[in-house]
């Protein structure tokens, strides 16, 4: 026998959930019907603002296991011992389009993982592609605005984003990655993850090392051609979610190798590009991958809104032994990500179970909207003379980090080098990947040819700076002359 009683949110039993209270059998509904008013009012507020970017996402729980100790590089406790396990929650997402957009669209994919460590939460917040369009956070609203639908027509317009990209040479590297078939992953469980940014790891002796993190799927990197994506979208715009969810439900748990690449700070000037530039990758032949762990996703969410949509990430959520690098795009994200969650789901979003660390939290941050983990101690300031209040932990004092330069100014990096790595990655592709890249670019640039040849000329110039053969092939596909 089902003993669950249907109730209002106040806990009052409901006898009739089918009919509103009215004035007589055929009269108007009465405002006194609290049950009705509560139900409709809550329904009107079920949704919160969707994320400006990464609105569409798939979430799942899992575990991270250390396979190689990282104690030589970081004192982060969860990375010290082989076999050590840490619970995680991963959110894998599209970037540009809305909450119910097709997962078959060409788009970078978000790859975010929350590690619930014994020293607090650590958020890995990356993408499937190893680089990004821009190198400074001040340009983030601009690149996203160019990729979002036109505010007048509400339709994405290639002329708009190619206009921006053609005037942003640093985006060339990202565009070459994005317009391969990797721009449309076959499933969330068959895509890689990259930190994009470098971070600092600090070991117990105070030694600092720059690090980038990669997630490499055991399932292989599997993508869709433009034609395959169109065929799937005609029947299913949830293909990536459906595939990953079904695999986990069937016990076919997706697994990723978690690898690191390292750079000694004294070697940062030894390259023709600035290694902390988010538009630059660290090529594996120059920075070998070191596997240090595995992540397994083994449990689907029970409530998408409460978990997948309410989870909040920030690349600045780090544990002792980790610091952000001087990457200018990363530095802006440190503020923006948590600020977006405070706007979406409130200043106490970290009290939600999906976001709350698995260790006790003690501080003097109080009140605001929905503080359901109330602090009852009357002393809400520090320092104080009360023994039963939280105190600073001096053993976690941060190691001093050097600063480059001694003046505050709007600096541009010196080694922009916008095309060399883009050409290098293009020339490393197989003939099949080159063919797909050119086909995808030609398809996307055709509307630009029809409306703005000046934009197309700039696009071809940028690709030609990366590799003349690439620009020539694109021009040939578009049926125009490449002027070099």
Q: Over the stretch 107-156, which tens digit does the pLDDT of each residue have?
A: 999 999 999 999 999 999 999 999 999 999 999 999 999 999 999 999 99
Residue pLDDT, tens place only, 318-363: 999 999 999 999 999 999 999 999 999 999 999 999 999 999 988 8
Identify whether residues 15 and 119 lie together within a single domain.
Answer: no
Identify whether residues 12 and 113 lie together within a single domain.
Answer: no
Q: Is the pLDDT of residue 205 over 70?
A: yes
377 part of the active site: no
Identify whether residues 98 and 206 lie together within a single domain.
Answer: yes
Residues 451, 464: Cα–Cα separation, whole Å: 21
Identify whether residues 72 and 38 lie together within a single domain.
Answer: no
Identify whether residues 233 and 322 lie together within a single domain.
Answer: yes
Specify the CATH number for the domain of residue 89.
Answer: 2.40.180.10
Identify whether residues 74 and 130 lie together within a single domain.
Answer: yes
Which token pair is 461? 């110039």
Specify the CATH number for the domain of residue 2.
Answer: 4.10.91.20
Q: Is the pLDDT of residue 374 over 80?
A: no
Residues 192, 189: Cα–Cα separation, whole Å: 8
Would you say residue 51 lies in a domain?
no
pLDDT category of residue 105 using cuts at 50, 70 and 90? very high
Location of structure tokens 């070991």 = 203
CA angle 414, 418, 420 (to 5 degrees): 110
Closest CA to 298 of 79, 90, 92, 68: 90
Would you say residue 389 lies in a domain?
no
Report yes or no: 29 and 36 within 8 Å, Cβ to Cβ.
yes
pLDDT category of residue 470 using cuts at 50, 70 and 90? very high
Identify whether residues 173 and 224 lie together within a single domain.
Answer: yes
Identify whether residues 170 and 29 lie together within a single domain.
Answer: no
- The answer to the question of whether 337 is labelled as a binding residue is yes
Of 307, 323, 351, which residue constitutes the final position of a domain? 351
Structural domain for 307, as ranges: 57-351
Would you say residue 165 lies in a domain?
yes
Q: Is the pLDDT of residue 262 over 80?
A: yes
61 part of the active site: no
pLDDT at 424: 95
- Mean pLDDT lowest for which of 138-147, 277-286, 394-403, 426-435? 394-403
Report yes or no: 414 and 277 within 8 Å, Cβ to Cβ.
no
Q: Is the pLDDT of residue 1 over 70?
A: no
What is Dmax (Cα atoms) for the chain?
85
Would you say residue 176 lies in a domain?
yes
Report yes or no: 56 and 327 within 8 Å, Cβ to Cβ.
no
Report yes or no: 369 and 345 within 8 Å, Cβ to Cβ.
no
Would you say residue 366 lies in a domain?
no
pLDDT at 104: 96
Of 327, 351, 375, which residue constitutes the final position of a domain? 351
Residues 295, 86: Cα–Cα separation, whole Å: 9
Q: What is the mean pLDDT of residues 2-12?
A: 86
Identify whether residues 79 and 28 lie together within a single domain.
Answer: no
Would you say residue 363 lies in a domain?
no
Which token pair is 123? 């958020």
pLDDT category of residue 281 using cuts at 50, 70 and 90? very high
Identify whether residues 252 and 193 lie together within a single domain.
Answer: yes
Cα 55 to chain centroid distance, Å, stands at 10
Identify whether residues 266 and 246 lie together within a single domain.
Answer: yes
- Choose between 289 and 375: higher pLDDT: 289
Plot region of 166 (φ>0 → left; ψ -120 to 50 → alpha; else → beta) = alpha
Identify whether residues 32 and 118 lie together within a single domain.
Answer: no
CA distances from 270 to 170, 324, 415 (A): 20, 21, 11
Which token pair is 280? 């630059």
Helix (H) or strand (E) holding 208: strand 208-217
Would you say residue 182 lies in a domain?
yes
Of 351, 372, 395, which residue constitutes the final position of a domain? 351
Residues above pLDDT 70, as percent of the chain: 100
Would you say residue 396 lies in a domain?
no
Closest CA to 296 of 90, 146, 70: 90
pLDDT at 412: 85
pLDDT category of residue 410 using cuts at 50, 70 and 90? confident
Residue pLDDT, tens place only, 57-83: 999 999 999 999 999 999 999 999 999
Number of domains in the chain: 3
Query: Which of the residues 121, 127, 355, 462 is marked catalytic?
Result: 127
Q: What is the mean pLDDT of residues 194-221?
A: 97
Q: What is the mean pLDDT of residues 248-258?
A: 98
């Amino acid at each position: 026998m089902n003993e669950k009683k249907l109730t209002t949110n106040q806990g009052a039993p409901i006898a009739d959930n089918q009919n509103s209270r009215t004035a007589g059998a055929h009269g108007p509904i009465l405002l006194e019907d609290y049950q009705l008013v509560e139900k409709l009012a809550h329904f009107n507020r079920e949704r919160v603002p969707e994320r400006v970017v990464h609105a569409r996402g798939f979430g799942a729980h899992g575990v991270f296991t250390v396979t190689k100790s990282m104690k030589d590089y970081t004192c982060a406790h969860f990375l010290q011992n082989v076999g050590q396990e840490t619970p995680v929650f991963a959110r894998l997402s599209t970037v540009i389009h809305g909450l119910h957009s097709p997962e078959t669209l060409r788009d970078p994919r978000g790859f975010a993982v929350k590690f619930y460590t014994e020293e607090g939460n650590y958020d890995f917040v990356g993408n499937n592609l190893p680089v990004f369009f821009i190198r400074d956070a001040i340009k983030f609203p601009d690149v996203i605005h160019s990729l979002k639908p036109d505010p007048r027509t509400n339709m994405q317009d290639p002329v708009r984003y190619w206009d921006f990209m053609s005037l942003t040479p640093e985006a060339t590297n990202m565009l070459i990655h994005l317009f391969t078939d990797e721009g449309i992953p076959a499933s969330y469980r068959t895509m890689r993850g990259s930190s994009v940014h470098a971070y600092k790891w600090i070991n117990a002796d105070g030694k600092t090392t720059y690090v980038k993190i990669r997630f490499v799927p055991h399932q292989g990197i599997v993508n869709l051609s433009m034609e395959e994506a169109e065929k799937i979208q005609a029947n299913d715009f949830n293909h990536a979610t459906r595939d990953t969810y079904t695999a986990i439900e069937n016990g076919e748990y997706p697994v990723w190798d978690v690898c690191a690449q390292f750079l000694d700070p004294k070697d940062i000037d030894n390259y023709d590009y600035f290694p902390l530039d988010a538009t630059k990758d660290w090529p594996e032949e120059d920075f070998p991958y070191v596997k240090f762990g595995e992540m397994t996703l083994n449990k689907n969410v029970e409530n998408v809104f409460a978990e997948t949509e309410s989870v909040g990430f920030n690349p600045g959520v780090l544990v002792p032994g980790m610091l952000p690098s001087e990457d200018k795009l990363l530095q802006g994200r440190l503020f923006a990500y948590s600020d977006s969650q405070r706007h979406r789901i409130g200043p106490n979003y970290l009290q939600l179970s999906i976001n709350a660390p698995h260790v006790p939290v003690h501080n003097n941050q109080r009140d605001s909207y929905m503080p359901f983990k109330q602090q009852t101690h009357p002393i809400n300031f520090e320092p104080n003379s009360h023994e039963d209040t939280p105190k600073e932990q001096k053993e976690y004092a941060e190691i001093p980090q050097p600063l480059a330069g001694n003046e505050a100014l709007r600096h541009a990096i010196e080694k922009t080098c916008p095309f060399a790595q883009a050409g290098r990655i293009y020339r490393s592709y197989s003939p099949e990947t080159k063919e797909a890249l050119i086909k995808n670019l030609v398809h996307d640039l055709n509307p630009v040819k029809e409306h703005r040849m000046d934009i197309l000329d700039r696009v071809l110039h940028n690709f030609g700076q990366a590799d003349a053969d690439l620009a020539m092939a694109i021009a040939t596909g578009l049926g125009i002359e490449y002027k070099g």
